[in-house]
Amino acid sequence: MGKTEKTEKAKERREKRRQEISLLRTIPYSDHQRWWSAETIAVVTGGNRGIGFEITRQLAAHGVTVILTSRDPNVGLEAANVLQEGGLNVFFHQLDVLEPVSIKEFCDWLVENYGGLDILVNNAAVNYNQGSDNSVEHAAQVCFTNYYGTKNMIQALIPLMKHSSAGGRIVNVSSRLGRLNGKRNKIEDQNLREQLANTETLTEEIIDGAVNSFLKQVEEGTWESGGWPKTFTDYSVSKLAVNTYTRLMAKILSDRPEDEKIYINCYCPGWVKTAMTGYAGNISAEEGADTAVWLALLPDQAITGKFFAERREIKY
């Protein structure tokens, strides 16, 4: 089979799956599947636009109360108002995932007003490359926002997760570009790949070390010979860290008692038409948000530490 034929077949498969998911989205949850209510609190970071806005809208449309957060208070408030005008239970609070004071203020407000949360969707992220660009000019900001920002939120909000038989849910918005063993975009250092793949010996320090090693090479100007992913390198490294941290946290959280379970997964929304892709994607924000909402609301949630795309598990 030639390259063109393979590409066409892959396109056909993707289109068929899109149609299947569109159909699945029209099927309402039955009463016995709905473990949530208006008392269920979801927090969505970076919820003011794109995928984050859509995740917020869809969760609220299912009857969840959603706290939309944004670094910029004006755009965040405006986004929440749009959804409130549509009759949805959406409220806004300013949050900068890299600022300890902002995170503490948000956590205090959340406890005081809602007693905690049930669902956390880590969506806040940045990317400065488009098309064939591969600049690392903003590598530090990309890695800090996408990886350390996600980690900050998980660490701050785990203690605030409400206890329930359904369990708390954490969904990390990630990317296939951060796959450990992707065919076209993987880390070439086999030793580092093995370290990041081995959940038995994996630690936060190993993940942080990989990210910091990349950033140090960027600073020194040697990153191109460091064996890092070739496409959107800084973004790919940040999402590789998110994926790996998801697996690590799943293992750590698995020891919690039955009514205090927290399930954590990550997913790739696909190449979505949003500001982050310069609106060059091939699917809508509505489609891109679907798997996040599906994971957050899974009725039989014993799934944790997995990576998904289009409602299917994919390999790390």
The residue that leads in pLDDT, 19 or 162, is: 162
Question: What is residue 1's predicted lDDT score, i.e. its pLDDT?
Answer: 65
Q: Who's near 24: CB < 8 A, 6+ residues apart?
A: 311
Question: What is residue 302's predicted lDDT score, i.e. its pLDDT?
Answer: 83
Mean pLDDT of 147-158: 98
Residue 292 has pLDDT above 80, yes or no: yes
Residue 233's SS3 state is: helix
**Tokens 């670094």, located at residue:** 71
Question: What is residue 275's predicted lDDT score, i.e. its pLDDT?
Answer: 64
Distance CA 53, CA 156 (A): 22
Per-residue confidence at 40, pLDDT binned at 50, 70, 90? very high
Output the pTM of the full model. 0.94
Per-residue confidence at 21, pLDDT binned at 50, 70, 90? confident
Mean pLDDT of 215-244: 97
The number of helices, as runs of H, and strands, as runs of E, in the chain is: 10, 8
Domains of the chain, first to last: 36-130+144-175+240-314 (3.40.50.720)
Distance CA 297, CA 30 (A): 12
Q: Are 154 and 104 in contact (CB under 8 A)?
A: no
Mean pLDDT of 100-123: 98
Active site residues: 235
Q: Who's near 102: CB < 8 A, 6+ residues apart?
A: 94, 95, 96
Residue 5 has pLDDT above 70, yes or no: yes
Per-residue confidence at 270, pLDDT binned at 50, 70, 90? confident
Question: What is residue 300's predicted lDDT score, i.e. its pLDDT?
Answer: 75
What φ, ψ does residue 88 adopt, rounded to 5°? -100, 150
Residue 112 has pLDDT above 80, yes or no: yes
Question: What is residue 276's predicted lDDT score, i.e. its pLDDT?
Answer: 62
